[in-house]
Amino acid sequence: MRIQFCGANRTVTGSSHLIEVNGLRLFLDMGMFQGPRDEARRMNEYLPADVRSADAIILSHAHFDHSGKLPVAVRAGFAGPIYCTPPTAEVARLILEDSAQIQVEDAEHLNRRSRRPDEPRLDPLYAPADIPPVLRLMKRVKYEQRTDLGNGVSFTFYDAGHILGSAYVILEWQEQGTGGAAGATRKLLFTADVGRYDTPIIRDPHPLPGPVDVVITESTYGNGSHGPIDEVEPQLLDAVRHVVQTRGRLIIPAFAVGRTQTMLWYLEKFAREKLVPPVRVFVDSPMGVEATKITRAFHDYFDRQTLDLVGEDRLFAGDRVT
Ligand SMILES: [Zn+2]
């Protein structure tokens, strides 16, 4: 087994790792590097040469820094399966369609800048028309269902509790050859991003199913610490109450995917538990609205607290959210 780190090494974003095992070449994630436009352009044009003939891409979750280069790989000729969970396929569609628009705008920006007249115009890394071919390659695999990749290699997704549909990956294979280790089962854990316990809506990370031989992990927040999660709710409730009492308006900047739904969840909880009077909530982002609809559709992926909160109702179904 060989590992090649193709991104997110000595930096964050651009996650992609090539695993060569038993004659298969498998990519774990195909993320976009995020940084200054010029540097990002240079980094994101780069693809490992053998991506065209890779056997599969296993996608841990939909975030851009894990999925954003899928259209670059498909444009370069990759035509194999892209394995992901059902919610990841939906959220990735949203993120990639948005990203395609940004790629077009970024190329326009770089072309507008003063350039030598003999310099060729830059094409966008990909455009909206490049997204449907990516989506057609997606194979939806549920958590805890082992998928056989052939040559004695298989993988299983487990809930990583990071965003809707996020997974960590256990890759398993039988050692080949005639040496002493031949026939032995080996396991590689790719954690990708692992979520916190007790976050709203999604479940906690699934416990590891057993020992593994190799771990590839992310360390984005490895050197920092977040405040306790149980302080979030009272702080937000205080702010909402203050605004209601003073008849003001509360503006909450939030990422469209994940954070917007978390905020809506808290606001819905406050209203259902009659901690605040019913107030109107506006989501001023088409992408945020779309991500909220996708979240609502994956009822089976909710944690116990959310199922108890909504009962027979649908999450975010109130007429207060516009
Ligand atoms: Zn992530």
Tens-place pLDDT, residues 218-252:
776 666 677 777 888 999 999 999 999 999 999 99
Tens-place pLDDT, residues 111-123:
887 667 777 888 8
CA 211–ligand 1 middle distance (angstroms): 24
CA 162–ligand 1 middle distance (angstroms): 7
CA 14–ligand 1 middle distance (angstroms): 11
Between 111 and 18, name the one with better pLDDT: 18
Residue 319 has pLDDT above 90, yes or no: no
What value does the mean pLDDT take over residues 249-275? Answer: 92
pLDDT at 122: 85
CA 194–ligand 1 middle distance (angstroms): 8
CA 277–ligand 1 middle distance (angstroms): 34
What value does the mean pLDDT take over residues 256-275? Answer: 92
CA 193–ligand 1 middle distance (angstroms): 5
Structure token pair of residue 53: 């003939």
CA 60–ligand 1 middle distance (angstroms): 9
Structural domains of the chain sorted by starting position, each given as residue range(s) with its CATH number in brackets: 2-217 (3.60.15.10), 229-310 (no CATH)
**How does strand 82-84 pair with strand 138-140?**
parallel
CA 61–ligand 1 middle distance (angstroms): 7
What is the rounded CA–CA span in Å between residue 173 and residue 149? Answer: 10
Residue 7 has pLDDT above 80, yes or no: no
CA 312–ligand 1 middle distance (angstroms): 30
Residue 79 banded pLDDT, cuts 50, 70, 90: very high
The owner of tokens 């590689």 is 188
What value does the mean pLDDT take over residues 175-190? Answer: 88
CA 180–ligand 1 middle distance (angstroms): 39
Residue 317 banded pLDDT, cuts 50, 70, 90: low
Q: Is the ipTM of this complex over 0.85?
A: yes
127-to-93, 134, 263, 291 alpha-carbon distances in Å: 13, 12, 31, 21
